[in-house]
Amino acid sequence: MDRLLAMDKQEYVSRMQTECRRILEEVADAVNAAPTGNVISGSEMQVRDLMAEFRRKAFEAAVQMRIDSTESSFSPSR
């Protein structure tokens, strides 16, 4: 394999929308659950962890889709 092909950007965005929405809903829940007067300290670590999870999943999905795009176009020789 000399070169990876590009993935379908629209397909990637479409696949990640559900995950993005889930993470953002959890961010909202974390901020809403934080005690009054301590909103930042009461939610920032959970929000940080949620965003790190999303970053990891987004990157893994993008890399995997690029690899899959290349492998699906591969035609083995006889």
Question: pLDDT tens per residue, the chain (78 residues)?
Answer: 578 899 999 999 999 999 999 999 999 999 999 999 999 999 999 999 999 999 999 999 999 999 998 877 656 655
Report pLDDT for 1: 54
Report pLDDT for 12: 97
Single pTM value for the model: 0.81
Residue 32, CA distances (Å) to 2, 18, 28, 46, 47 in order: 50, 21, 6, 12, 11
